[in-house]
Chains A and B, each alone.
Chain A
């Protein structure tokens, strides 16, 4: 979710993801499932018969801006773009697409980093950007009811005068929309203490593929039946279309202080993270950067980072004044004992912002060092950090590409940035190889291939590494319950068993897939 806002220089330094032989982003009906071919003008007529005022874009020059999301190397022109302005239009569109078996890909602000909103050549791209109103903000009930196209930061800005805010803050928060946040279960730098999107949403309104409305969750703290709110959060547009979101607002912490600790050894920095948490302290934010990332950020933002350090830790402590003061003392002591070569407490809010500015600009800063970079998103148990960093360094040395590491250290979410030049023959493929091996390493140590960016189109093949065939089959069963004809965002998030048999690590015995009776989607 994070690059496009984190990369104001994106135009100059486009993020290029991997396009290898086996990572062709184009939907492959042989591997991803068949899609019906429907005549475009017939479909437009059918949609307009149901929703006469619904804006549809069909000419190539109008479709072009929608051909990709934040993962700009993956591009496909949709058949049609729909820009509904009302709930009724969304429902009508879904009814028609369901009846005609036309797939629908939903898009929010298009800042996603895994190609989750990559269009389909034979599908409709449903763009929710006109759903951009904050419907209600109740400071006493500490909630905001908003349309899905409302930007993440806009909610906190509206809540600010009441002393409240919306906690999840993906780095793209100035641009990304709340509907996309829910679809991806977006994170941010304060997750360890304040949770992910799933912990901060009270309810969502969904339009199903059949064009019906339903509300998941409740303004109350729970709802009867299954926890479908949790199931839909992070489901990447595969189960329904989000048309309204009610989020929880929190009182703003009184004070926030940031400590920056330098280390001349990455492993020691990793251990310091464990020491802080073992001491019973849960920082609001706990971030780590390695030397390459430090240098890039310092060169770009001049945050005052120590460029000689092998690693820095940024530790933000927030809450009530008295507690924060005590925590700062405790953490400073722990960092000293852990062998930090220098510890600085941001003197005032301006310096605190500056310390964070370096971290938040890490992606574009790295982008200035290299024509292209590839951002990974694995999560690992923190104790495995030294081993994984060592593995990444070895891969970097073996393949001759630099890797900068930015790390949500508190919750174990790694963002290695692989630097390469797409114009040099073979570098793209090499970056791909390193990326795949890093994700395999994450799975090997008990982690996951994606902590917050989502699987999307990008990591479809790696899902075969993370999950066994029976588990994927269970995912398909869930999908079937909500979208029998697999019309919602097909070819994303969950690979078909056929795809895994061809590309993944799945063991196929004598060419027989498990559950031959099941449809391959």
Chain B
């Protein structure tokens, strides 16, 4: 039976800009069949895109792979609608180039962590870049998805419109679920125009002063789009209209910064993130008004203080406990563990008891035979 929303006729472009149509290949039938087979055989699957974020999360208790990387292509892009729909295996770089060619972008500035990064992996991991506190996160720009269910059905949730409150928001639920609730086959995003002007600044000062400044600036309508403190320097990025960027630049002072700083930060290419450093790399997500936990190690403060990177040898349970006590949580980014981590070394902070139970119940209802990325988020499911 055709989907109700598929009964619509071909798109008729209303504007000369017009929608960009399909390029790529649709493997959804084959993918659904693979899932159905796994479902029949009760065989768990490792869902894989470009493999650039395989380090993120726990080791998955499965051998068989479900490869999404060739299910690719931009299905539909209409710059005038500010909406793009892409297959999950599309390279993130391909999507970003297509958007840039029309003067638009994904506002949440997702990290790639490698050339082969796919759109599906980006959404499944739900990681956002330095612009996140001002622009919003991945989930804020997801309008709709096509998802393969545990029994191999391709379903559609949300759509290509900005406002849609019909049914539960299962599309946003998929963001950051790391494939544990279903296989992302297609995603529709809201995109936004590139700003007319931008400027990158560096201001030398100590960290306490930098945080004070950021608090004060936060209460004003300034065109901030990045604020990071590292090694005695407050890095600030401004994006907006010509007038506001120029006047803010003048007001804040400081020196011109290399524009590459923000990409290096996003891609973890700064020396701070060096893979040669044997200590664990932690990401602490904290309330704006929280005090940084008393953990030993080196810090890099991003998102105007809401995202703190830590290089430390502190034991994992202690990092989690102190982060939770500060009102936030911690995620261990690396280095990758060779063996399946024990509970104590879990990369993700433990959930409160009631919340954990509902997580488990949700997982059980949507993936009753635990075939999707079992154990990737938490040991029990």
Contacts and interface: CB of A to CB of B under 8 A. Distances in A.
Interface of A: 138-143, 162-164, 184-185, 187, 191-192, 195-196, 198-199, 208, 212-216, 218-228, 230-231, 233-235, 238-239, 250-254, 271, 274, 277-278, 280-282, 319-323, 325-327, 379-384, 386, 408, 411-413, 443-455, 459, 463, 465-468, 470-471, 474-475, 477-482, 493-494, 505, 507
Contacts of A449: 166
Contacts of A277: 80, 82
7 contacts: A219-B287, A221-B132, A227-B126, A231-B169, A234-B168, A448-B161, A470-B153
Interface string B153-184: 10111011111111111101101110001000
Given A221-B132, A225-B351, A452 B165 contact: yes
Contacts of B329: 218, 220, 222-224
A231 B168 contact: yes
B86 interface: no
A325 B243 contact: yes
B318 interface: no
Contact of A323 (B3, B215, B244): B244
Given A220-B328, A274-B80, A444 B166 contact: no
Given A162-B219, A214-B352, A220-B328, A383 B15 contact: yes
Nearest to A240: B358
Given A323-B240, A323-B242, A452-B163, A234 B328 contact: no
Contacts of A254: 221
Interface stretch (B38-46, B188-196, B199-207, B252-260): B188-196
Nearest to B352: A214
B285 interface: yes
Contact of A221 (B78, B133, B242, B331): B133
B241 A280 contact: no
Contacts of A185: 165, 169
Contacts of B194: 280
Contact of A471 (B78, B157, B352, B378): B157
A274 B14 contact: yes
B315 interface: no
Contacts of A251: 218-222
B101 to A, nearest CB: 14
A448 B164 contact: yes
B365 to A, nearest CB: 4
B354 A230 contact: no
Q: How large is the interface on B (under 10, 10 to 19, 20 to 34, 35 or more residues)?
A: 35 or more
Contacts of B327: 218-220
Contact of B172 (A162, A219, A227, A480): A227
A191 B80 contact: no
B317 to A, nearest CB: 14
B288 interface: yes
B336 to A, nearest CB: 19
A139 B218 CA distance: 9
A191 B162 contact: yes
B270 interface: no
Contact of A140 (B153, B156, B164, B215): B215
Contact of B359 (A225, A282, A459, A475): A225
Contact of B244 (A230, A319, A412, A446): A319
B263 to A, nearest CB: 21
A282 B13 CA distance: 21
Contact of B165 (A199, A214, A234, A325): A234
B13 to A, nearest CB: 7
Interface string B191-234: 01110100000000000000000010011111100000000000
B170 A474 contact: yes
Given A251-B222, A280-B193, A447-B161, 8 more contacts: A185-B169, A214-B354, A234-B168, A251-B219, A280-B103, A320-B223, A383-B15, A471-B155
A254 B221 CA distance: 7
B106 interface: no
B117 interface: no
Contacts of B82: 277
Interface in B5-52: 5, 7-8, 11-15, 17
Contacts of A224: 329, 331, 348-351
A444 B167 contact: no
Given A231-B169, A381-B81, A474-B366, A320 B218 contact: no
A124 B169 CA distance: 26
